Amino acid sequence: MIGVISLAIVLFCSLAGALCYGAGSQGAVGAGRRLNFVAGAGAAVAAAYLMAQILADNFGLAYVASYSSRELPLVYKVSAFWAGQQGSFLLWLLIHGAAGAILACGQRMSNSGLAVYLALEALLTVLVLAKSPFVPTEATVTDGIGMNPLLQDPWMAVHPPIIFLGYALLAIPFAYSLGALIRPEPAKGWLEKARQWSLLAWAFLGGGIFIGGYWAYKVLGWGGYWGWDPVENSSLVPWLLATVLVHVLRVARVRESAQSLVDLAAIFTYAFVLYGTFLTRSGILGDFSVHSFAESNVGLTIALVNAFVLLSGLLLLTWRAKAMPQGELYNAYGSREFLLLLGMLITVFIATIVFLGMSMPLLTQLAGKPAAVDTDFYVRTTLPLAITMMLVLGCACQRHFGGRVLALGKLPYLALVLGMAAALAAGVRQVLPVLLAGAAAMGTAASCRSFRLHGLGLGGAIAHAGLGLGLLAMVLAGSGSQQVSRELAVGEAQDIFGHEIVYQGQEFTGDGTAKYYKYTVDGREVAALTKLHLNGEDAAREPAIDKTLGGDVYLAPTPTRAARSGIRLEKGKSAMGNLFLYRLDGIDIREEGDKMRVTADIAVTDGERVEHAKPSILATSEGGTSAPIEVMEGRERIRLTAVAGDQRSARLELMPSLQEEMALPVQTSISVKPVIWLLWLSAALVCAGCLVAVKK
């Protein structure tokens, strides 16, 4: 109840606050500020309430029951807050509300801007209410379903909040822009503040995307650091548009007439944040994505909010078009202004390609026959654009605003040659990737030189050098990567891509919740973790990665396990298993707290002696779990899988000994990824540069 009431308060206060700020009289603005604070506090109360319910294992809430469980470690209980759609929307609202309270202090934003901001807050609240995390559970749940083992990773604690920080903060430049359109004010006042907030949002969204990429690389099942999946693309498009936003904001500092471009970029950026949310949360891409959320009915609401935001922004801009500062955007083709805008036009083109690609299933569905693009398409199409963009970056670095030339010297040209040589040395043989490696290296060198000559600020230089290094790393680690799949027997050394790789067998952890596939690469030990369900099935898998300065050797084992068979036992009768004779002697049912333990008494014999084994199932309202137990000195393992209602028969699953399973050969996909660490480094540089640029 507290949750829903708090959300209702947020909705009321943000709407009333928007109206008060919109009215603009002194008294109304004072009320608006108080309503803004109350709305922020309401969101905080709702979030705190949900967090408290998760930590207290209150499975009376469907959300808590679906995403958390009693045994979940604390860090994942906290993460369960944003493991599902409902909670992640609430997290978004919480950040939006907190930022709103910050904006209301001092003279950070105009009243009309705050009115727009609070209107957005009301829309977000509608989304949270439409898909509320505070819906009660229908049946009684005792333990909770828990978090998908794939998500039980330390990165789960940071990746989603950082992404949502980026999404939420992009509302701020949107509000600045629309505020200034509703009630014109001197651009100098708000442009600088909008620039700082945009950079902050851009750094967080970029950081979130990069962390997601690294996470997807170090687990299996998400197709490597970037898979051009709709979920990934839907965060890339707003980030690319935010890139355009921060650059046109820079141009607007020297060219007033760029203000309408700023408005356009701010509107489209936020609209695409919402569009990406719509695409991934509505479930319409279910058949096209490896990790869309399941189908839901919130799609229409998001689509309406999205259309409303985009159309109201564009209409407002058209209405004010005449009153916008007029004049030249650039004076010569050789000026920084022109080159910068050209680079941004190319960025818009890339965003358009990604947008059309990810929306293709939706667009073609409207035309009748659904179709999708293959992922190679994105690389193929954006490659020439990326090369052009890096060349334009190189040129822009050697010009000042207005067109004065900076003498960058020979270094950029040297870098161009070195970049191409590095690609060739890494084994890249296609023309375009080699060209991209050269252009990217040139862009990096030009950014560094330009900084030395005071053409580029420190933040800008770091971020652009990072971008160049990142593209170079993508060519070297991507196009330069080699892959092969081999069956590896325990102890047998194989020479693959110049590395001596030996599979050392499987090792189970003491508590049976995980196992490792162990390898040595050139003598160095690495292990691939596989998390296990209680019944012994694979739950989530990671690769084994041997990291060196030259790059990574990436080993992905295919799940291997010994064959299992099932037998049905009738009370008092014997049945033959693989090695031994089994007989069901009795079934015992006992309550353990609010759970039920069903234990079977099984007599096992090899013909000479008899041993009694007691496999059991722990049953809860959500289902049952049963772990395998060893019989006859571990020569076979058995697991109780079912018991008949009349307790006259039971089913057993039989599996060979642990030793036998651990010694099985394993099919392994082996790939080498030259200097992939450079990619992680460059991503960190891009974000760091961006944060440096916020201060100025």
Partner 1 sequence: MNKKILLLVLVLAFGGYAAWSFADAVTPYVGISEAKAAKGSVQVKGLLDKAAPAPHQEGENFLFTLQDEETGETLPVRYLGTKPDQFDEAYHIVAIGQCQGSEFVANKLLIKCPSKYEQQRPK
| Residues 615/623/295/81 CA torsion (nearest 10 deg) | -90
CA dihedral for 88, 90, 92, 95, sign (positive or negative): negative
Cβ-based nearer residue to partner 1, 67 or 275: 67
Cβ-proximal residues to 73 (8 Å cutoff; 6+ apart), any chain: none
Locate 65 and state its tokens.
Answer: 């029951």
Separation of alpha carbons 261 and 258, rounded Å:
5
User: Minimum distance from CB of 583 to partner 1 (Å)?
Assistant: 25
Separation of alpha carbons 560 and 489, rounded Å:
12
Cβ-based nearer residue to partner 1, 133 or 149: 149
Identify the bridge partners of residue 654 per DSSP, sorted by sequence position. Answer: 565, 638
User: Minimum distance from CB of 687 to partner 1 (Å)?
Assistant: 26
Cβ-based nearer residue to partner 1, 477 or 556: 556
Number of residues that this document lists for the chain: 696
Q: Is residue 685 within 8 Å of 495, Cβ to Cβ?
A: no
Residues that bind partner 1 (CB under 8 A): 66-67, 83-84, 145-151, 220-221, 286-294, 329, 345, 349, 352-353, 356-357, 360-361, 364, 369-377, 380-381, 484-485, 533-535, 537, 541, 556, 558-559, 622-625, 667, 669
Scored b (16 or more CB within 10 A) or e, 431-454 reads: ebbbbbbbbbbbbbbbbbbbbeee
User: Minimum distance from CB of 97 to partner 1 (Å)?
Assistant: 24
First to last CA, the chain: 46
Cβ-based nearer residue to partner 1, 583 or 639: 639
Q: Which helix (H) or strand (E) holds 500?
A: strand 499-508
Q: What ranges make up the beta strands (E) of 533-684?
A: 538-541, 544-548, 551-557, 565-570, 574-576, 581-592, 595-605, 610-613, 616-620, 623-625, 629-631, 636-643, 649-656, 666-674
User: Minimum distance from CB of 464 to partner 1 (Å)?
Assistant: 22
Locate 380 and state its tokens.
Answer: 């193929």
User: Minimum distance from CB of 180 to partner 1 (Å)?
Assistant: 25
User: Minimum distance from CB of 366 to partner 1 (Å)?
Assistant: 14
| Cβ neighbours, 10 Å, residue 37 | 17
User: Minimum distance from CB of 532 to partner 1 (Å)?
Assistant: 12
| Cβ neighbours, 10 Å, residue 371 | 12
Cβ-based nearer residue to partner 1, 101 or 534: 534
Task: Decide: helix, strand or coil at residue 558.
Answer: coil
Cβ-based nearer residue to partner 1, 430 or 667: 667
Q: Which amino acid is at 278?
A: F
Cβ-based nearer residue to partner 1, 15 or 231: 231
User: Minimum distance from CB of 668 to partner 1 (Å)?
Assistant: 8
Cβ-based nearer residue to partner 1, 34 or 595: 595
User: Minimum distance from CB of 141 to partner 1 (Å)?
Assistant: 11
Cβ-based nearer residue to partner 1, 4 or 342: 342
